[in-house]
Amino acid sequence: MIISFNGNHGSGKSTISKMVAEKLSFKRYDGGSFFRNTAKQNKMTLKELSALRLKDPKWDNEIDNYIKNLGETEDNFVADGRMVWHFIPHSLKIYLKVNELEAAKRIYAELQKDKTRNIEEGAMDSLESIIDKQKKRKEEDIVIYGKYYGVDIHDPKNYDLVLDTTGLSIQEVFKKIMEFIESRKNK
């Protein structure tokens, strides 16, 4: 079984995908790490790589091919990333959503724990700046994935499960996700 996660920034997809992978004793792959590694390998900031991605799809091709290859050569793993569901269509596709303010609160709390991330992604020192940054990232996503792939990564029709995590604890989200996975294991 391959389980793919996508969702709004701050929805809990990284945390939940780690928890699911651990619970199932599956490997976990993280699209955000692929993106950060691509920037680092090319001696760019995330902002510079994002700008280049808007102009040239070659920057996504390396990650896309890696993800496709995973889906063709491995089984029993969890992956979170924007296009994993698309490049591994036989995966169990889960989308986590969250409202803007709750997402900003979660992201802010994470940035307080990991100061290097704030430096990498540009100053996000208030809820307002985080909301603004997330709106821009969502607009960028819509342009890139619509232009290069003809898909809307936020369209619920692309997923087997869409779960709003806004009013839920991480344990509640995990429980609901695991119940869904268990219900789909033998199908």
**What residues make up the domain containing 73?**
2-184
Domain count, the chain: 1
Cα-to-chain-centroid distance, residue 108: 17
CATH number of the domain that 176 lies in? Answer: 3.40.50.300
Query: Is the pLDDT reported for residue 118 higher than 70?
Result: no
Q: What is the pLDDT of residues 122-132, one digit of tens each?
A: 556 778 888 88
Alpha helices in 42-99 (DSSP H): 46-55, 58-73, 84-87
Q: What is the pLDDT of residues 2-21, one digit of tens each?
A: 999 999 989 999 999 999 99
Angle at 95 between CA 89 and CA 97, to 5 degrees: 160
Structure confidence at residue 137 (pLDDT): 83
The model's pTM: 0.84
52-56 average pLDDT score: 77
Q: What is the pLDDT of residues 23-36, one digit of tens each?
A: 999 999 987 777 77
Structure confidence at residue 119 (pLDDT): 41
3-state secondary structure of 5: strand
